[in-house]
Structure 1
Amino acid sequence: MASKTKTSEALKVVARCRPLSRKEEAAGHEQILTMDVKLGQVTLRNPRAAPGELPKTFTFDAVYDASSKQADLYDETVRPLIDSVLQGFNGTVFAYGQTGTGKTYTMQGTWVEPELRGVIPNAFEHIFTHISRSQNQQYLVRASYLEIYQEEIRDLLSKEPGKRLELKENPETGVYIKDLSSFVTKNVKEIEHVMNLGNQTRAVGSTHMNEVSSRSHAIFVITVECSERGSDGQDHIRVGKLNLVDLAGSERQNKAGPNTAGGTATQSTGGGGGGNGGGGGSGGERPKEASKINLSLSALGNVIAALAGNRSTHIPYRDSKLTRLLQDSLGGNAKTIMVATLGPASHSYDESLSTLRFANRAKNIKNKPRVNEDPKDTLLREFQEEIARLKAQLEKRGMLGKRPRRKSSRRKKAVSAPAGYPEGPVIEAWVAEEEDDNNNNHRPPQPILESALEKNMENYLQEQKERLEEEKAAIQDDRSLVSEEKQKLLEEKEKMLEDLRREQQATELLAAKYKAMESKLLIGGRNIMDHTNEQQKMLELKRQEIAEQKRREREMQQEMMLRDEETMELRGTYTSLQQEVEVKTKKLKKLYAKLQAVKAEIQDQHDEYIRVRQDLEEAQNEQTRELKLKYLIIENFIPPEEKNKIMNRLFLDCEEEQWKFQPLVPAGV
């Protein structure tokens, strides 16, 4: 794969704090978090602090307080990353935090209200608006949606959403999921429909911390392929992949139980992060889910700690499905943004501190993003080649032309994946011959067949029928022919008519396939009001300039604070001994306060490690109990010969590091 190398860049980390909830206010919980938006700092005060203990301060690339808007986060932090994806980079946005701190709200928001839409719907609008304004470029956009529930990967867009999928690794393309479905989408409406379908089957449930809590890690993957003619006269394809990750909440198990004794799992009913539906599972599932979630997030923390430390030669990506899928996003070929979501209430102090430390470590990770240029396995190139082949066949038949768009019903169509794709997953797409008026700016008119094609074919067939009928009548009236010759000639005419019908069907199928394939390719720069388009471009540029200016101001203020401290240390001239005593006493107090803060931090870290160890021991004890129960069942209820049969079928899958069963019937038999 040809690629343009780029110097490494740090993982971008921002923090966001939600307001106090009514429940927290009613319970009398005080606010312990303060956000300095200008300096990009978060200050956390310990509600149980000893007298004189200083609050803890963390600095990030940006912080967003309770009054921040969804658009602020997107325009200042996420928009540049989406622009990079459209240029051919890989990008990842993920939200991390305790349950109930606003991860799903940040990522998805409220879809029906434009000002409350989160990162994902704003990214949809951004991508298709960019495509509609592009010039001399051809795009193909496809989407996949998956979740990791209790360390099992599920395809949320599959007809069998509960089916477990396997992780595979390709030396050229990296980690991928076998048989993961992907949908080609042509506008915002279609890609939103894809996400809503997935949200209906995602695992959510009610816990003490949140009435609608995500009980799985969900990853929405958008692949944008762009074809553009280069200076060498050849078409070059760039492929950008965007991972939009909504992590399950981190919490201790005593806070993760069901909201009621009979708490049940629920499912969101689409449209972003809300809604309850029917569900399965009992309240007893909550501790098990929390255990799996915490183990997965612990593995993520270990990967981040190993990457941030710069001392470890081994990065434990294989410890969980989540870290394997995010391998490129953490220290690899991707630009990554982490949004740390925080709760401001005093009862969430431990969780908020843990989240802030996690985010603080993530700042030190260095990625090496590069443009993915001219990869071998692009679906866009396969589509272009197939369209060119179909076009040549239609031109050969003399049936290719143009016609205005006409309305028709939407249908779902399966399209074969290109041969270069690992394991040949099925790519599906909605083929629509019309667009809503609201989406016309996203979907320019494309060259398709003449509207008179079907009529011409019918007229041609009717003319041929009439001609054949006349010839048949002439044969019948010709008394010079014997009956056998007449019958033979009539059969020939019938055969010609049947061949004609088959030719018509073949041409119609060819034309339909051509239209279906071409409708999936998006070409910008057509059928757009130039004046309005330019105004929107100018507004977006202004917003980007303002966001960039805020970022520069924040960096300058942080640098000024550091320089002020250095300047104070360098000043060594005093007008009197009294002044020297006062200055040095002040400096000593400041250093002593820093020392106390470091000691408190060390103690907190020690306490945190003890808590993590206790959680791991609890999980280990639970697994040991389950293992003993299974051994008890095997020893007392399964005959030895059946046990031996099962043991003989076991083998270790080194790629997934799991024991599996060999099939009873060998493949291919």
Structure 2
Amino acid sequence: MVKQTIQIFARVKPTVRKHQQGIYSIDEDEKLIPTLEIIVPRDLADGFVNNKRESYKFKFQRIFDQAAKQEAIFESIAKPVAESALAGYNGTIFAYGQTGSGKTFTITGGAERYTDRGIIPRTLSYIFEQLQKDSSKIYTTHISYLEIYNECGYDLLDPRHEASSLEDLPKVTILEDTDQNIHLKNLSLHQATTEEEALNLLFLGDTNRMIAETPMNQASTRSHCIFTIHLSSKEPGSATVRHAKLHLVDLAGSERVAKTGVGGQLLTEAKYINLSLHYLEQVIVALSEKHRSHIPYRNSMMTSVLRDSLGGNCMTTMIATISLEKRNVDESISTCRFAQRVALIKNEAVLNEEIDPRLVITRLQKEIQELKDELAIVTGEQRTEGLTEAELIQLEKLITSFLEDQDPESRLEVGADMRKIHHCFHHLKKLLNDKKILGKSSVSSEIKDQDQDQGCQYPSKEEEYKKLQDILKQRDNEISILSK
């Protein structure tokens, strides 16, 4: 078991214009804990005197400035989580931040240059590279891609996605078993034997994602997407199997509706996005509070799916993507505050091992056959499944002669074959039961015969009646004589 808090990292998005001095600063020397300081410019106060803070400080495991490369992000954030997944621990990496702060670029990557690949394609490359190196185990890899759009789940790898509208597709629903484990109905699992197959599944899912242009972002993702790598491994000949799930989550961006000025369908999407992020924040707050008995996981689909990732059996990492332009300072401060609350949550990651029953059955069958072969060598005869008819008749004759033998020292010799011994006991039991039934019937017949014999000695009813009549007459005569 590995107990640790959720790891939090910050990434600052490069600004379109030249770097504005004074908006933020990064201090990595203060007690070896990197600190991000966000400075609120004076002009945001619009000339009014107020008590608004001018400086905010937040601590992270590491802060990546505007010049940080995708490779450095993967090496520091995703690689340790991928290594733990290969070892059999569940892992989650999720990006959180406002619209246009670089979440999708960090998780999935850009399409212009090969070096712009994000965490998901780099993680797939790393995992399959390690699988090829490790020949001591047998690995199986499956991919699933879930989209949560307007609080409804959809399978991004469903082949009907291109031909059908979103409303016609089957919705992914959540099922919960007695152990409170979450199962997703209508979410397909696709086996990937090579890196190329896994990347094709990623590209297929990205093609089907809900993307729209908003005033905040030209290609804004309008849904939460969870790309999951399912890993299974076992050593040859061993019945122990290790399972691990690695969730790579790209959350939709939080945005202020008044600030973006959207309406219609975009407004509906923004409401659902903000509501689900609000429920995520509720779960984070509940987990960070001590002695809190109820955690509201069921409030939204996203928190239900990520239940293990938040306060459960998982090694979780969060990337806070921050856009530190003047107009986005308030949202950036909110993102950093959310990250500080996430850092208080403790997870207990457990090695996911189980015994494969099919392998156990195969192993036991092989062991039984080997024991039968050894027994055949010792006894000189091949063991069959059951006793033959001739063997059964011979055994019953032995039992009969044993029972009829008056010698108290006599023995029933049937050998060391347990099948013959069991049959002898069953036959003796049958004989005993038959004797009991016969004994009961003979006793009842004896009682009946006795009753009949006794019935012959008793006088009949007519004789008894005549005798009583004679006594009555005699008494009447005696009375009449006495009265005279």
Q: Where does residue 190 of structure 1 map in the other structure?
A: 197
Distance 1:89 1:374 in 2: 13
Aligned to 2:216: 209
Q: Is the 8 A contact 2:224 2:252 kept in 1?
A: yes
Taking the aligned partners of 1:291 and 1:51, their CA distance within structure 2 comes to 31
Deviations 1:590-646 (A, max 9, x none): xxxxxxxxxxxxxxxxxxxxxxxxxxxxxxxxxxxxxxxxxxxxxxxxxxxxxxxxx
Q: Which runs of 5+ in 2 are unaligned?
A: 366-484
1:223 and 2:214 aligned:
no
Shift of 1:180: 0.9
Q: Which residue of 2 aligns with 1:46?
A: 40
Shift of 1:21: 1.7
Could you say which residue in structure 2 is the equivalent of 1:296? 276
> What's the counterpart of residue 372 of structure 1?
352
Superposed CA deviations along residues 437-480 of structure 1, whole A, max 9, x for unmatched, are xxxxxxxxxxxxxxxxxxxxxxxxxxxxxxxxxxxxxxxxxxxx
Counterparts of 1:298 and 1:335 in 2: how far apart (Å)? 23
Q: Which residue of 1 aligns with 2:323?
A: 343
1:9 to 4, 17, 34: 4
What are the within-5 Å matches in structure 2 for residues 543-558 of structure 1? Answer: none
Question: Once the two structures are superposed, what CA deviation does each residue of 1:484-530 show, in whole Å capped at 9, x if it has no partner?
Answer: xxxxxxxxxxxxxxxxxxxxxxxxxxxxxxxxxxxxxxxxxxxxxxx
1:219: how far off?
0.4
1:353 aligns with 2:333: yes
Structure 1 partner of 2:136? 136
Shift of 1:30: 6.9
CA distance in 2, matches of 1:249, 1:326: 17
- 2:98 is equivalent to residue 81 of structure 1: no
Q: Give how far 1:74 is off.
A: 1.2
What is the identity, as a one-letter code, of the residue corresponding to 1:255? K
Question: Are residues 1:179 and 2:159 paired?
Answer: no
* 1:254 is the counterpart of 2:258: yes
Alignment of 1:639-658 (within 5 A): none
Compared CA separation, residues 376 and 203, structure 1 to 2 (3 A):
farther
Could you tell me which amino acid in structure 2 is paired with residue 35 of structure 1? I
Q: 1:375 to 1:160 in 2, by over 3 A?
A: farther
Bigger drift between 344-353 and 45-54 goes to: 45-54
Change (3 A) 1:375 1:13: farther
For 2:317 and 2:2, the matched residues in 1 are separated by: 17
Decide whether aligned partners of structure 1 residues 313 and 117 sit closer, same or farther in structure 2, where only a CA change above 3 A counts.
same
Measured in 1, the distance between the counterparts of 2:315 and 2:212 equals 32
> Who wins on radius of gyration, i.e. which is larger?
2
Amino acid at match of 1:215: R
Distance 1:42 1:199, change over 3 A: same
Q: Report the counterpart of residue 36 of structure 1 in structure 2.
A: 27
Say if 1:166 and 1:178, in contact at 8 Å, map to a contact too.
yes
CA distance in 1, matches of 2:238, 2:131: 21
In structure 1, stretches of 5+ residues that fail to align are 1-5, 259-282, 389-669
Kindly tell me: are residues 137 and 376 of structure 1, through their superposed partners in 2, closer, same or farther at Cα, counting changes over 3 Å?
A: closer
Rounded Cα–Cα distance in structure 1 between residues aligned with 2:291 and 2:179: 27
SS at match of 2:278: helix
Do the aligned partners of 2:241 and 2:356 also contact (CA within 8 Å) in 1?
no
Distance in 1 separating the partners of 2:214 and 2:356: 46
User: Given that residues 239 and 355 in structure 2 are in contact (C-alpha distance below 8 angstroms), is that contact kept between their aligned partners in structure 1?
Assistant: no
Hey, which bits of structure 1, 4+ residues long, moved more than 4 A?
A: 28-31, 49-54
1:154 corresponds to 2:154: yes
Of 277, 283, 306, which aligns to 2:286? 306
Q: CA deviation at 1:35?
A: 2.5
Name 1:245's counterpart in structure 2.
249
Aligned 8 A contact 1:219 1:243 in 2: yes
Q: Secondary structure at the match of 2:197?
A: helix
Q: Is the 8 A contact 1:20 1:31 kept in 2?
A: no
Map of 2:172 onto structure 1: 165
Flag the 1:51–1:294 CA change in 2: closer, same or farther, 3 A.
Answer: closer
Question: Residues 29 and 42 (structure 1 numbering): CA distance in 2 closer, same or farther, change over 3 Å?
Answer: closer
Match of residue 641 from structure 1:
none
Partner of 1:234: 238
Identity of aligned residues (%): 38
Letter in 1 for 2:250: D
Specify whether residues 184 and 172 from structure 1 end up closer, same or farther in structure 2 by C-alpha distance, changes over 3 A only. Answer: farther
TM-score by length of 2: 0.68
For 1:116-159, what per-residue CA distance to the aligned partner results, in whole angstroms no more than 9, with x for missing partners? 21110110011000100003210100000010000000001113
* Structure 1 residue 375, shift from structure 2 partner: 5.8
Per-residue deviation at 1:234? 2.9
> Could you tell me which amino acid in structure 1 is paired with residue 175 of structure 2?
K
Deviation by residue 1:293-352 (Cα, 9 ceiling, x = unmatched)? 000000000000010112321101011001000000000000000000000101111101
CA distance in 2, matches of 1:141, 1:256: 41
| Distance in 1 of aligned mates of 2:225 and 2:16 | 25
Write out aligned runs for 1:588-599 (5 A): none
Counterpart residue type for residue 27 of structure 2: D
- Say if 1:315 and 1:51 are closer, same or farther in 2 by CA, change over 3 A: closer
1:46 is aligned with what amino acid?
V
| Equivalent residue, structure 2, for 1:68 | 68
Which amino acid is 2:253 matched to? Answer: G
What SS class does the counterpart of residue 352 from structure 1 fall into?
helix
Aligned twin of 1:107: 107
Cα distance change of structure 1 residues 85 and 111 upon mapping to structure 2, 3 Å threshold: farther
Is the Cα–Cα contact under 8 Å of residues 37 and 64 in structure 1 kept in the other structure?
no
Q: Tell whether the 8 Å contact from 2:239 to 2:356 is kept in structure 1 after alignment.
A: no
Which secondary structure does the structure 2 equivalent of 1:331 belong to?
coil
The DSSP-based 3-state class of the residue aligned with 1:322 is helix
Q: Deviations over 1:514-566 (max 9, x none)?
A: xxxxxxxxxxxxxxxxxxxxxxxxxxxxxxxxxxxxxxxxxxxxxxxxxxxxx
Q: Secondary structure at the match of 1:374?
A: strand
Q: SS of the residue aligned with 1:8?
A: strand
1:157 and 1:198 in contact (8 A); partners too: yes
Give the deviation of 1:173 after TM superposition: 7.2
SS of the counterpart of 1:287? helix
Q: Which amino acid aligns with 1:119?
A: I
Alignment coverage as a number of residue pairs: 347
